[in-house]
Structure 1
Amino acid sequence: MTVLQCANDIKYVQYLSTIIASLGAASMGTSFSWSSPSIPMLTSSDSPIGVQLTHEQASWVASCFPLGMIPGSILAGVSLSKIGHKNIFFCCSVLFLTSWILVTVSNSLTLLVTGRIIGGLAGGAQISILQLYVGEIADKNIRGKLAVFPTANAQVGLLIGLGIGPFVSFQAYSIICAVIALVYGVTVLFIPQSPYFLMKKDKEQDAQKSLQMLIATLRTKNKNEASLQEIRSTIEYQTKNKFTIKKLLVERRYRNSLLMVIVIKTLSDFSGGYAINSYVQTVLDESNSSLSPEVASLIYGVIQVVSIFSSAFLIDKVGRKPLSIVSSGGAALALISEGVYFYLKDVKHIDTNDFNFLPVLALCIYRLMVSLSLSSLPYVLVSELFSVDAKEMCALIFGTYSSILMFTNIKIFNPILEAAGFHTLFWIFSASCILAIVFVAVLLPETKGISFNAIQDKLDSKK
């Protein structure tokens, strides 16, 4: 929740703080896309760790990162009120750095998996609290834009994996990712702590300094006593009205906000984003495209970065609902086309040489459309739909559930592929996109430019 409603000048500290905090999302993105260039190397006879992995072992290496995210989400949720967002961010940077060091020096499956799980701990913590931090420091008029930045930075991390990973050695790529984690750890020390957290700790002077930094523009650094008083009132209300599981289950606005986020996160993840990103080079290798898998995956990565940054500029202008409907519809059509190609090629054994451009084209259109809104929508909603007293518990539930979803998506990719083929996978993903269209159009409230109180009133409405 945010009450930092000040001048229309550019609040550069809010932008910088969001970008720096989101470097953790970039580290998470490199960890996800690491699988795409690395799995083919690890399963080859010339494995960079000295041990050739089976496809089953490789699927565990790919999925153990989100597996580590599950306890990471829980640990971040229970420690947030004690040490705050900023300190958790720094701990995440240390874990990411440790993870990449272990991956770099790996000479066995055990060491490789250990490094990936440690990175997952950091990723789970990031996904639980990053959007809460952004929501607490952002002005209402740029809240949607800033809420997209973590996803945008994650896409930049994915691009690094897809654009650099195939062209450098296994160890060199890990070192590059370690440098990102190091930069994250150093820069995050300079961002302001959330004024909400400081007020909860009865550090009013520190909260005032943090608030003054956050509302600073390129032309002024005026204090905003009204905002500080509103934060104080919010914290007092939260203290008097302790949030409990009973409230979550009984009161409509709490239940509705959590259900909205859980459903849209489920549909977003089962649209295939994480699974495809982890195996994009494998998919492209099977497509018989005239482009090499390495070049095609680079194009795929560039498109998703361009799309997510476009989303940052469109979301507060077009609105969440229209953008999400277009995003889901375009992604569904692209996935259906991808499924049809592999069905004709692998099941009907029809000559598809004249259409070898289609898999790369459809995959790029899919990434363009899904990154436009559907992939980032759950994280935007986390920063908007949860009331201030419910944020910490709901974020803990959301982070843990998200980690389980990611693990499930990546782990089941290979078994479904071997049992039913690429076409079945892509059609499952497209069905999820179609369901997302229905859900967003019928049930999701539009939150563009609406205050948090008005959003809560909508969620509490019996209609």
Structure 2
Amino acid sequence: MTAKIRNMRPYTGKLNYAYVVAFAGNLLALTGDTTLTWSSPVLPKLYSNDTDINPLGTPITKDEESWIGSLQYIGAMVGILPFTFLADRIGRKPVLLMLALPHVAAYLMFAFANNIYWYYLGRFLGGVSLSSVYIILPMYVAEISEDSYRGMLLVSYSTFASFGDLFPYILGPYLSIRWFNLITGIFPILFLLSFASLAPESPYYYVGRDDHRAEVTLNKLRRGRLNYDAKNEIDEIKNEKMKNKTGDVWSTLKKKYVVKGFIVAFGLSCFQQLSGLGAILAYTETIFRAAGTNVPSEVSSIIVGVVLFLASFGGPFLVDRKGRRFLLIVSATGLIISESILGLYFYLQTETDVSVDSFSWLPIVCLVVFTITFNIGFGPLPFTITSEVLPSNVKFLLATVTGFSGWLVSFVVTKFFNDLNDYLGNGGTFWLFAGFCGIALVFIIFVVPETKGKSFQEIQIILNR
């Protein structure tokens, strides 16, 4: 009840400072997602025999392509462990600032490398940062937000990330590899400057360590609120922490609401990647070339990227109106339909005598539908829900496990995407992804709870039933 009353108090006309902080933090989300689509415009250049285009001097092999497309996920699995541990020890803010540095190093490597192994190292370093950002940034945003707008701020992550996906599609095909990477490297530097100067440490981190600093931080974050008393919110945070501190970590892990929350987070993390997202983002131009569309592959990729970015604006406005479960169900349905039809297109193209020339536009439409429906549900909501369903004292531990599992699945999907195409055919590969989305739909309907507008304490009560 206290949380509900707290959220009903009106704001003055001043800008909510938590929005400013989330904006600065989301620049790191933008930086991270450029890593996912970076390979789409770069790989075709690395196949060139022209040394003015290909800095490596000789074309890469299919095996080298698969490693460039997937090595970031190895980095993601390695980086997720130390950084999420540090976030609970030294604070969220310093760790988020540290996570920008591997991106800066990676883009400098890409800009000046003339050896394939520098590309491997750069991709690995980008992944080291990417995985931890997906866990620590949403949790930081959840901890600085109030229940009434927490969902909107968490899903705004997706808008910035989607622009990060779009940026390589727009710039990559038309610039040299050096200039493309030097320009892309500006984003992590902008994040470092803005977040270091604007963002406070999470009040959740301070409570129990330094309540005075927690009070100062909350007053800064809620400075537009009328009749606000930070001590009340500190008491709520303490109650939530104390509830989850009863006994040691292992006894906490045995509690029903913790087990159910972990199952929800783990399932959503894995199904997100089993949708085929990683492969589609990494090989967008390659997919369109295989489809034989009349539209140039780089233009088709830009269309998909623009739609992905525009669709991301819907999530923040819908998530606290329609709810998480509704958007996930719509998202899963859209993914099933789009990938099933795309699989049928490739089957007709490669396995039958049916001419697909009259509907060569269909792959573009399918991937447009895929990106729209992915971006309103499967894209942002697994991270949003993970930050909501896990209790604070084991949140980073369990989020690390779910994140590691998700990145492992993404590595397998991306590394062996070409092998799947060889074994199942392009059509069979997309039908496989659609099948996983069908299983995910059943999981969402029967397992995932609705967390819209609920406090962390209320969510735990729901999971404990």
**Which interval holds the TM-score relative to the shorter structure?**
over 0.9
- Tell me the distance in 2 between the aligned counterparts of 1:356 and 1:12: 48
Distance 1:410 1:220, change over 3 A: same
Q: Is the 8 A contact 2:207 2:234 kept in 1?
A: no
- Counterpart in 1 of 2:9? 7
Give the structure 1 partner of residue 328 of structure 2.
324
Deviations 1:14-67 (A, max 9, x none): 112112212222111111100111111112223233242101111101111111
Amino acid at match of 2:352: K
* Equivalent in 64, 71, 81 of residue 64 of structure 1: 71
Residues 40-439 of structure 1 mapped to structure 2, 5 A cutoff:
40-46=44-50, 47-189=54-196, 190-200=198-208, 202-217=209-224, 222-244=228-250, 246-248=251-253, 250-439=254-443
State the one-letter code of the partner of 1:251: K
Distance in 2, matches of 1:102 and 1:6, equals 50
- Structure 1 distance, partners of 2:232, 2:173, is 53
Amino acid of the residue matched to residue 52 of structure 1? P
Task: Note the C-alpha offset of 1:221.
Answer: 8.9
Q: Residues 276-310 of structure 1: CA distance to partner in whole angstroms, max 9, x if unpaired? A: 01111111112221211111111101111111220
Distance 2:231 2:103 in 1: 38
Give the whole-Å Cα distance in 2 for the aligned partners of 1:252 and 1:291. Answer: 53
- The Cα of 1:447 is off from its aligned counterpart by 1.3
TM-score by length of 1: 0.94
**Cα distance in 2, alignment partners of residues 199 and 451 from structure 1:** 17
Amino acid at match of 1:135: A
Provide, for residues 226-246 of structure 1, a one-character-per-residue CA deviation record: whole Å limited to 9, x for no partner: 1122223444455554423x5
Q: Is the 8 A contact 1:163 1:298 kept in 2?
A: yes
Tell me how far apart the structure 1 counterparts of residues 300 and 258 of structure 2 sit (CA, whole Å).
44
SS in 2 for 1:421: helix
Quick check: 1:69–1:403 contact (8 Å CA) kept in 2? yes
Answer yes or no: is 1:37 the counterpart of 2:44.
no
Q: Aligned partners of 2:357 and 2:332: how far apart in 1?
A: 29
SS at match of 1:210: helix
Q: Report the Cα distance in structure 1 between the residues aligned to 2:183 and 2:453, rounded to whole angstroms.
A: 39
Runs of 4+ more than 6 Å apart: none
Opposite residue 288 of structure 2, the aligned amino acid is: L
CA distance in 1, matches of 2:337, 2:447: 22
Structure 1 contact 147–383 (Cα < 8 Å) conserved: no
Scaled by the length of structure 2, the TM-score of the pair is: 0.94
Alpha-carbon separation, structure 2, partners of 1:328 and 1:238? 33
Distance, in Å, in 2 between the alignment partners of 1:238 and 1:349 is: 62
Whole-Å separation in 1 of the counterparts to 2:414 and 2:441: 23
**Distance of aligned partners of 1:105 and 1:180 in 2 relative to their CA distance in 1, 3 Å threshold:** same
> Match of 1:22, SS?
helix
Q: Which stretch has the larger CA shift, 401-410 or 292-301?
A: 401-410
How far, CA to CA, are the matches of 2:255 and 2:243 in structure 1? 17
| Helix, strand or coil at the partner of 1:317 | coil
Question: 1: distance between equivalents of 2:72 and 2:58?
Answer: 20
- Give the Å deviation of 1:6: 6.4
Say if 1:215 and 1:221, in contact at 8 Å, map to a contact too.
Answer: no
Residues 137-164 of structure 1 show CA distances to partners (whole Å, capped at 9, x for unaligned) of 1110111111112232211100101121
Q: Following TM superposition, by how much is the alpha carbon of 1:82 offset from its aligned partner in structure 2, in angstroms? A: 1.7
Deviations along 1:394-414, one digit per CA (max 9) or x if unpaired, are 122122222212212211212
Of residues 335-344 and 43-52 in structure 1, the stretch that sits farther from structure 2 once superposed is: 43-52
Supply the distance in 2 between the matched residues of 1:195 and 1:360 (Cα, whole angstroms): 45
CA 234–326 in structure 1, closer or farther in 2 if over 3 Å, else same: closer
**Compared CA separation, residues 445 and 237, structure 1 to 2 (3 A):** closer
Q: State the Cα RMSD in Å.
A: 1.9
Q: Which amino acid aligns with 1:13?
A: Y
Q: Which of 20, 28, 32 is matched with 1:16 structurally? A: 20
Q: Which runs of 5+ in 1 are unaligned?
A: none
Q: Deviations over 1:228-285 (max 9, x none)?
A: 22223444455554423x532x322111111111112211211111210111111111
For residues 233 and 318 of structure 1, the distance between their equivalents in structure 2, rounded to whole angstroms, comes to: 29
- The 2-side partners of 1:86 and 1:419 are apart by 46
Q: Aligned in 2, Cα 1:257/1:11: closer, same or farther, shift over 3 Å?
A: farther
Q: How many equivalent residue pairs? A: 456
